[in-house]
Structure 1
Amino acid sequence: MDRTERFYKIELLLRSRGCVAFETLRDELAVSPATLKRDLQYLRDRLAAPIVYDRFDNGYRFEAVVPSAASPRHELPGLWFSEKEIHALLTMHQLLAGLDDDGVLSRHLQPMADKLQGMLGADESEARELMRRVKLISTARRRVPSRHFELLGSALVQRKRVWLRYFKRSDRSTSEREVSPQRLVNYRNTWYLDAWCHASEGLRRFALDAVQEAKPLDSRARAVALKELEAELDAGYGIYGGGGAKLNWATLVFNADAAQWVANEEWHPRQRARWLADGRYELQVPYGDPTELAMDILRHGDSVVVTGDKALVAAIGQRLRRAAQLYA
């Protein structure tokens, strides 16, 4: 039984039996007197457990306190975590912090992290050291104002509609829309809102950093089944994967050197791939809008060639010729 389990065991014994003798606690936990004393002291000092020694009954119990807003009834966290599970949760907390904009997630999750650190038994310096050992490096992040993230997240959970003033970068236009939030998506260090747009009567994906203003509405959000959402917005390649565009399949052939890395990458959940006899790697991915796929193909330069899809080949060839002219 590790330390975390002992904390829950002590809590359970005191709640179920009222007052428990020191010897009984020691026997139930199968620990030394010194270990039990440390556990009781830690529960009092670090987890604010109101444990007192009752001289009349010669045992330990919870102090009788009337719960209030200032002093709520003490309880350890409702789930029973082992130390390895706590380490995993703290690691996940640090990863979420790496996705954070303006400290929105961290502000709401920090109380949980503090409790987990307390359950782990590490002092403050040890806890800080643990958190520094996990890092998420983000590049080209487009930050989202915290007021928008919190408002949209709240509307999503409460199933409420939202009014948006949205800037569309492709044609540099601004529009006002009423939307029903369906899902928040973090893709390549950028947050997006998948929503039903009531103006266009369809599912749309909005970049949160392009939201200029947002207001909550009292109207109930339109419900869209997750399968419909995925079929519409996730079918094709990348963030431009849906929108009702007809899907095509792109065939990419990587040379033997690039294949050593690409073979371990997932470009799309429905991708098809195979090794060729000469060591090259063939990858097929579905796409609707070719914009992002072309960008990723260009990133590999002369290590990849597109075959079969004449329109995509022509578009990439044109981009390469224009780029070459800039460096001529």
Structure 2
Amino acid sequence: MDRQERITALHRTLQAARRPVTVAHLQDVLGCSRATVYRDIAYLRDALMAPVIGEGETGFHYDKDEADRFELPGLWLNSEELHALLAAQHLLARCSGGLLSTALAPLQQRVEKLLDVHAGHKHWPLERVRVIPHRIRRMDEHAFRIVASSVLERRRLTFDYRARSTDEKTRRTVSPQRLTHYRDNWYLDAWDEDREALRSFSIDRITSARMADGSAHDVADDALNAHLAGSYGIFSGAPKGWATIRFSPKAARWVADEHWHSQQQGRFLADGSYELKLPYSVPRELLMDVLHYGADAEIIEPKALREQLRAHLQLALSNYAEEA
């Protein structure tokens, strides 16, 4: 962990301790050397004016009379912690008026109190930090509740499903496995009993959902992860191949810092461009993400995927053909 994370962990450890904490224990908590512990203690006490008491031999602790009044200055949350707190606050605020609003009120107060503590008991203008939903689809809340209940209660489920790609409507009977929240939308990962295979269903395309008799068949976590997380994006299935994508030096400044897949391989080339390799099964979502970069991205391999992208570009260009 970096210095800021160590100081935060050190503060929380001393704040919670009922007796002096030894240097050896602090080394384990902070994952650092003995010398670094002493440097961090000195910084916390001398620079941040923390009420640290103790010596190396006996251990360190906070002065009980001063501990409750001391708090680290400024924003000591990392980006993930801040996002989690703000997202929770936004979601709780959106629940107002619903069935859970009364039950969730204490939780919202706890979140607001936690934010207040990390602000040093100063008012934070949280309206200046935004969590923006992206391409949320309209969804039948009744269907969502039935689907979610079947997952949590481990019950079989039947529903009508209209595939977005073909617009074909089919009746499905499944053993629900997981709910997945991906790119601001909800999906059901399930064992399709008729097809005897794992499938992912976009919940906004589910209608006439109801629980069926019998318990859901559980698929082992390893099998779920291998099938549902092995390929690119939301499309499940074993990878059918690896894509090699080359990004211009301009786009490389963004792509090199992006997480596309857990097994991705990336490297900078001599001309400043960036080469990204990743596994994929259904190419649709990967093609859309590559198209997002326009002329700054080029699929190098495989040839079939490259030709698919070429066909997409030609169709798109035909929409802008000059009329005679």
Shared fold by TM > 0.5?
yes
Aligned partner of 1:261 in structure 2 is: 254
Matched, 1:243 2:237: yes
- Counterpart of 1:169 (choices 164, 167, 185) is 164
Contact 2:85 2:111 in 1 (8 A): no
CA distance in 2, matches of 1:171, 1:146: 24
Contact 1:117 1:127 in 2 (8 A): no
Matched, 1:229 2:229: no
CA distance in 2, matches of 1:167, 1:293: 22
Aligned partner of 2:45 in structure 1 is: none
Contact 2:172 2:192 in 1 (8 A): yes
- Counterpart of 2:127 (choices 132, 140, 143) is 132
Aligned partner of 1:95 in structure 2 is: 87
Deviation of 1:146 after TM superposition, in Å, equals 2.3
Deviation of 1:144 after TM superposition, in Å, equals 2.2
Aligned partner of 1:304 in structure 2 is: 297
**Which residue identity lines up with residue 168 of structure 1 in the other structure?**
A
Aligned partner of 2:314 in structure 1 is: 321
CA distance in 2, matches of 1:270, 1:119: 36
Matched, 1:156 2:155: no
Q: TM-score, normalised by structure 1?
A: 0.66
Contact 2:137 2:204 in 1 (8 A): yes
CA distance in 2, matches of 1:138, 1:117: 21
CA distance in 1, matches of 2:148, 2:199: 17
- Counterpart of 1:113 (choices 105, 108, 115) is 108
Contact 2:89 2:108 in 1 (8 A): no
Aligned partner of 2:179 in structure 1 is: 184
Deviation of 1:284 after TM superposition, in Å, equals 0.5
Contact 1:143 1:190 in 2 (8 A): no
CA deviation digits over 1:147-203, x for unaligned, max 9? 222222222222112221211122212122221111111111211010111121111
Cα–Cα, structure 1 residues 263 and 128, in superposed 2: closer, same or farther, change >3 Å?
A: same
CA distance in 2, matches of 1:325, 1:199: 41
CA distance in 2, matches of 1:110, 1:184: 25
Cα–Cα, structure 1 residues 90 and 325, in superposed 2: closer, same or farther, change >3 Å?
A: closer
Contact 1:237 1:293 in 2 (8 A): yes
**What stretches of structure 2 of length at least 5 have no aligned partner?**
1-10, 19-62, 69-74
Contact 2:157 2:173 in 1 (8 A): yes
Aligned partner of 2:195 in structure 1 is: 200
Deviation of 1:302 after TM superposition, in Å, equals 1.0
1:238 counterpart SS class: coil
Q: TM-score, normalised by structure 2?
A: 0.66
**Which residue identity lines up with residue 267 of structure 1 in the other structure?**
W
Cα–Cα, structure 1 residues 119 and 185, in superposed 2: closer, same or farther, change >3 Å?
A: closer
CA deviation digits over 1:208-263, x for unaligned, max 9? 100112112341111111111111121111112x235x520111111111101110
The 5 A counterparts of 1:25-64 are 30=65
Cα–Cα, structure 1 residues 99 and 239, in superposed 2: closer, same or farther, change >3 Å?
A: farther
Cα–Cα, structure 1 residues 114 and 324, in superposed 2: closer, same or farther, change >3 Å?
A: same
**Which residue identity lines up with residue 255 of structure 2 in the other structure?**
V
2:208 counterpart SS class: strand
Cα–Cα, structure 1 residues 307 and 105, in superposed 2: closer, same or farther, change >3 Å?
A: farther
Contact 2:179 2:186 in 1 (8 A): yes
CA distance in 1, matches of 2:128, 2:318: 45
Deviation of 1:129 after TM superposition, in Å, equals 5.9
2:311 counterpart SS class: helix
Contact 1:91 1:134 in 2 (8 A): no
CA distance in 2, matches of 1:224, 1:136: 35
Contact 1:93 1:109 in 2 (8 A): no
CA distance in 2, matches of 1:147, 1:93: 27
CA distance in 2, matches of 1:193, 1:162: 11
**Which residue identity lines up with residue 138 of structure 2 in the other structure?**
R
**Which residue identity lines up with residue 215 of structure 2 in the other structure?**
R
What is the aligned length?
252
Aligned partner of 1:274 in structure 2 is: 267
Deviation of 1:89 after TM superposition, in Å, equals 7.3
CA deviation digits over 1:105-130, x for unaligned, max 9? 974644412244467778xxx99966
CA RMSD of aligned residues (A): 3.6
